[in-house]
Amino acid sequence: MLNKSKRFSIVFLALLSFSNQAFSLNLIRDAEIEESLSSITRSISKHSQLHGDLSVYIVDDNKINAFTPGGNQIFINTGMILKCKSYDMIAAVIAHEIGHMQSGHKISRRMNIENAQMLGAMGMLLSLGSIVATGASEGVFVGTLSGAEAMQRSVLKFSRDQEIAADVAGAQLLDKANLGYKGAIKVLESLKRYDKVMKDEYLSTHPFASERIKLYKGKQSEGALDETLAFAYKMARSKTEAYTLPNKGVNELPLLKSNSPEDIYEKAIIEYRNYRYADSLKNIEHLLKVKSNYAYFHELKGMILFDSGKWLDGIAAMDRAIDLSKNPDLLKIQKALYLLSVYDKNRDKNNLNKAEKALLSINNENDIYYKHHLLARVYGKLGKSTSVEYHLAEMNFAIGNKERAKLHAQKALKFKDLLSKYQKTRLKDFVE
């Protein structure tokens, strides 16, 4: 479930910045959107020179941007998702970012700009993700110190050269993935109007979109799109729009007149957000007749039923979503929250046992904090204080609070006989 009120801020220390200062990004967690973007990323990255899985994060920002700090991470703004109206468009953006990663551009860009700073090019204001572009990890805004102008232009040219290299690498990946170039051309065509903003090409980190389009035009542009990935992306984009529209999307409802699955889905989500549960359920039932094995139609159905007071039916629908999802851990967290809520109403401990089982099966590292936080709540209600302390220790360690983790570990270790061998080993590591 995408819920902006439940978003969290994740802090990267000296990871995405050019200094030792920390900054934060507001990330949105949603199983459906993450699964869609991760599936597209895997379909492209398997043709690259990179090893291991890539992690995709959704940034709550309406700027049209995507970037990579290097390593195995790609960050995509909600603004970019909304700009990319089709699967081949977002695939082209992701291929461009993988092109940067494959070339190790983050390190060289950082070194290049740091060298320029050392030589006195202090007229540049460095900021992250603030330029309207398809692949910038850094937006560079040039100041007025004329003595630094030559160095500034040298650094910016280096960045533009990297963007061209990433375009070339991205095009090769699109070829290997048999996706064609139409998506890349559509993205760049939509960005051409920003060429007028950056009138001096030498004062932009990116080549003009009109220049970049030349790389793709005249070459093989047809591709065989994966219908499953295309459908999932349409749904993910509709959800993104439904949850990011102002006024809970009520002004958008009259405009959603088509019978396309994406419009009906967006309408159902907006209706749900505005407590029009009967209308929302009617639309989601229609979609389930069209595609009964799509996990996230069942997720929304579960949310509608639970919030309208049909708790058991809501949990059953969520179970169906979990069974169908390739990325079920966030759905398991939602299920556990539902079961805890039902327990508070009827005091049936079976709900706590089911919540415990769902939470213990979570493996995604991004969800470890939530897993241990909720397990601490479950064991608190079951009166298992040692287990509470163990999971509070794990929870605090997951967010880097080592002092709090040590405190809870010490409390749990006072009752070693109630801990498993694995738990004792973990807690001793926290204390040492």
Q: What is the pLDDT of residues 67-109, one digit of tens each?
A: 888 778 999 999 999 999 999 999 999 999 999 888 775 544 4
Q: Residue 11: which of 205, 21, 19 has the closest Cα?
A: 21
Q: What are the tens digits of pLDDT across the range 332-342? A: 999 999 999 99
Positions in the chain whose pLDDT score sits under 70: 1-24, 105-160, 193-211, 217-222
Instruction: Work out whether the CA dihedral 268, 271, 275, 277 comes out positive or negative.
Output: negative
Say what the pLDDT of residue 208 is. 58
Say what the pLDDT of residue 267 is. 98
Amino acid identity for residue 306 in this structure: F
Answer whether 275's CB lies under 8 Å from 282's CB: no
Say what the pLDDT of residue 366 is. 87
Q: What are phi and psi of 62, to 5 degrees?
A: -85, 0
H helix runs in 177-203, sequence order: 182-191
H helix runs in 245-364, sequence order: 261-273, 277-290, 295-307, 311-324, 329-346, 349-360
Say what the pLDDT of residue 203 is. 39
Say what the pLDDT of residue 222 is. 66
Answer whether 240's CB lies under 8 Å from 2's CB: yes
Q: How many Å apart are CA 74 and CA 57, to the nearest integer?
A: 6
Average pLDDT of the chain to the nearest whole number: 81
Q: Which two tokens stand for residue 50?
A: 């990179």
Radius of gyration (C-alpha) of the chain in whole angstroms: 24
Answer whether 236's CB lies under 8 Å from 37's CB: yes
